[in-house]
């Protein structure tokens, strides 16, 4: 009898332990599953973030390479512009020296001619002196013309150099520069102006288009020819439709 009771107690104890074990197992499994899912989601997110970071790094490296290339090109253009400006400045100095020398020779010839006219010179001698004076004057006029052209080129080169050094720099045009619109193309938003290189127009210079004192648009010169320029209308500055005959004045006039 005692043996049977002991057996029953043992069986009940085993069932109790099994029930407790099953209970613990049934409560821990979902927790482990949730933990596994969270770890999996974290791993997936980490892989996605890593992939995104690699992509952004690659894009940044490409942009850095492009920026370095553009910087090298800009530096090269700046160095070329500097060299051109120095060469043109030297040429201008040489022309000034040559002009001073030729002017002195002309004055000397003029003085000699005046002196010789008061003397008993032969007509041939007077003609030769007069020819020398005229040749000297012609040479001076040629030098002055070349100097004027060189001066305009020097201004344009210095302007380009400033734009390389400061992208926000505005091209300043002569304060007294005035012109008219002679052709309008509304389809492509460009106009032709009757001012060119000879009057002081400079590439990338901005002009205000007005009619009867009212602002119509702002244009930027893109192509400069001898006696005319081609300019594009600046986006956001088109307050009306430009027409032939409209006045144009510098948007950024030089102070000197």
The rounded mean pLDDT for the chain is 78
Q: What residue has token string 């996605």?
A: 48
Enumerate residues 6+ apart whose C-beta is below 8 A from 151: 92
Distance CA 83, CA 79 (A): 6
Task: Tell me, yes or no, whether 158 and 198 share the same domain.
Answer: no
**In this structure, is residue 32 part of a structural domain?**
no
Identify the domain boundary among 165, 199, 232: 165
The three-point CA angle 132-136-141 to 5° equals 150
Higher pLDDT, 67 or 96: 96
**In this structure, is residue 87 part of a structural domain?**
yes
Global pTM value: 0.43
**In this structure, is residue 219 part of a structural domain?**
yes
Structure-block tokens of residue 193: 């102006």
Higher pLDDT, 100 or 125: 100
Give me the pLDDT at residue 104, please: 84
Higher pLDDT, 121 or 192: 192
**In this structure, is residue 134 part of a structural domain?**
yes
Identify the domain boundary among 102, 133, 165: 165
Is the pLDDT at 176 greater than 80? The verdict is: yes
Q: Which CATH number belongs to the domain containing residue 214 in this structure?
A: 2.40.10
Task: Tell me, yes or no, whether 161 and 234 share the same domain.
Answer: no
pLDDT band of residue 101 (cuts 50, 70, 90) is: confident
**In this structure, is residue 88 part of a structural domain?**
yes
pLDDT band of residue 80 (cuts 50, 70, 90) is: confident
The domain of 137 spans 80-165
Give the single-character DSSP code of 253.
B
Task: Tell me, yes or no, whether 99 and 140 share the same domain.
Answer: yes
Task: Tell me, yes or no, whether 161 and 183 share the same domain.
Answer: no
**In this structure, is residue 58 part of a structural domain?**
no
Task: Tell me, yes or no, whether 132 and 206 share the same domain.
Answer: no
**In this structure, is residue 30 part of a structural domain?**
no
pLDDT above 70 as % of the chain: 70
Overall domain count for the chain: 2
Is the pLDDT at 23 greater than 70? The verdict is: no
Task: Tell me, yes or no, whether 141 and 186 share the same domain.
Answer: no
3-state SS class at 227 = coil
Task: Tell me, yes or no, whether 93 and 158 share the same domain.
Answer: yes
**In this structure, is residue 67 part of a structural domain?**
no
Identify the domain boundary among 165, 200, 228: 165
pLDDT above 90 as % of the chain: 27
Digit-coded pLDDT (tens) for 143-167: 776 666 666 666 566 656 655 555 5
Mean pLDDT in residue range 44-49: 73
């Amino acid at each position: 009898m005692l043996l049977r009771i002991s057996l029953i107690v043992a069986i009940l104890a085993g069932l109790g332990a099994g029930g407790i074990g099953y209970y613990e197992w049934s409560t821990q499994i979902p927790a482990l599953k949730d933990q596994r899912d969270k770890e999996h989601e974290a791993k997936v997110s980490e892989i996605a973030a890593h992939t995104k970071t690699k992509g952004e790094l690659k894009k940044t490296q490409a942009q850095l390479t492009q920026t370095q290339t553009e910087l090298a090109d800009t530096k090269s253009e700046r160095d070329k512009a500097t060299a051109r400006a120095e060469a043109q400045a030297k040429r201008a100095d040489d022309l000034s020296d040559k002009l001073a020398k030729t002017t002195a020779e002309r004055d000397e010839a003029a003085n000699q001619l005046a002196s010789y006219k008061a003397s008993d010179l032969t007509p041939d001698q007077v003609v030769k002196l007069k020819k020398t004076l005229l040749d000297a004057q012609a040479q001076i006029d040629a030098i002055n013309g070349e100097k004027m052209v060189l001066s305009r080129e020097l201004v344009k080169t210095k302007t380009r150099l400033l734009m390389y050094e400061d992208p926000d720099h505005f091209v300043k045009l002569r304060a007294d520069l005035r012109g008219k619109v002679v052709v309008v193309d509304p389809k492509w938003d460009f106009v032709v102006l009757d001012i060119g290189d000879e009057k002081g127009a400079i590439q990338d210079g901005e002009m205000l288009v007005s009619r009867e004192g009212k602002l119509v648009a702002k244009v930027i010169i893109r192509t400069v020819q001898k006696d005319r320029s081609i300019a594009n209308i600046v986006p956001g500055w088109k307050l009306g439709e430009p027409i032939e005959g409209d006045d144009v004045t510098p948007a950024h006039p030089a102070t000197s």
